[in-house]
Amino acid sequence: MKLSGRIATIAAAGLLSLGILSGCSDDESIPYVERPPEELYNTALDALAAEDFETATQNFEEVDRQHPYSIWATKAQLMAAYVYYLDDEYDEAVIALERFIDLHPGSPDAAYAYYLRGISYYEQIVDVGRDQKITRLALDSLQEVARRFPGTAYARDADLKIDLTLDHLAGKEMEIGRFYQNKGELLAAINRYKVVIEQFQTTTHVPEALHRVVECYLMLGITDEAQTTGAVLGYNYPGSEWYADSYSLLEGRALAQSDEGWFSSLWSWAF
């Protein structure tokens, strides 16, 4: 993504909070020549504007190396992490951000540092066919933002991404469940689907998970449990295509009942 777009969507607020309007590189890439912090910082900003990310990070980090106790050093530490993020160097960004958080836990820019760390993990989320360790790290980091900084723009955006991250994790459980179901390992499949039903209740995958449980129970010949699950599905997602499929499988047995108290009692079975 081009620099201008990413500044607009991710870091504009952070940059303004640092008062900017006008780590991890190899220190030997820049010969040590002491320069004023303002000069190094402005050189880094010019490089950033030109999308020369390597030069930008080198100069931001040089501010910290040459003038570690200046106010410029604190700003430069966070800016170096931001440039790593822009350059898709997410591991380096996370390392730099965690260092900033450790050194400056009370900084006015701490919220932005926590947020950018969460986004650095979030940007690395891969498809559900692969390991979801990064997805869980993203979830943990984003939840920390929402918990520590409620009511902020960072928390609001984190909440949106938390929902998407949970949906992604639920999708992974569904993929594993379908894999077991296709192999005929029905109890293992049911256990995976129940993880979605019980732990990811707000995601889009719950209706399908309930339907798949109905399928598995019917394949095992456990009709009562299949009817109970179908009833829960119908009670909560009456307009869902998955409910229609389950209803068709059960041929209307038990699900034709409309007594709300009966449905309510079934609700506790799944949740």
Pick the more confident residue, 164 or 19: 164
Reported as a single tens digit per residue, the pLDDT across 134-188 is 999 999 999 999 999 999 999 999 999 999 999 999 999 999 999 999 999 999 9
Angle, in degrees to the nearest 10, between helices 260-270 and 223-236:
110
The three-state (H, E, C) secondary structure of 176-217, written as one string: HHHHHHHCCCHHHHHHHHHHHHHHCCCCCCHHHHHHHHHHHH
Question: Given this model, what pLDDT does residue 83 score?
Answer: 97
Q: In this predicted structure, which of 39-48, 136-145, 249-258, 262-271 has the lowest mean pLDDT?
A: 262-271
Question: 1-124 adopts what CATH topology?
Answer: 1.25.40
Question: Given this model, what pLDDT does residue 36 score?
Answer: 85
Question: Cβ(255)–Cβ(227) under 8 Å?
Answer: yes
The answer on pLDDT for 33 being more than 90 is no
Average pLDDT over residues 26-47: 77
Pick the more confident residue, 67 or 12: 67
Distant-in-sequence, close-in-space partners of 37: CB < 8 Å, separation ≥ 6: 63, 66, 67, 70, 72, 73, 76
State how far the alpha carbon of 81 is from the alpha carbons of 87, 91, 126, 155, 196, in Å.
Answer: 10, 10, 22, 20, 35
In the chain, what are the domain boundaries? Answer: 1-124
Question: Given this model, what pLDDT does residue 21 score?
Answer: 37
Reported as a single tens digit per residue, the pLDDT across 58-83 is 999 999 899 988 889 999 999 999 99
Tokens of 265: 């009692």
Cα separation, 98 vs 90, in Å, equals: 12
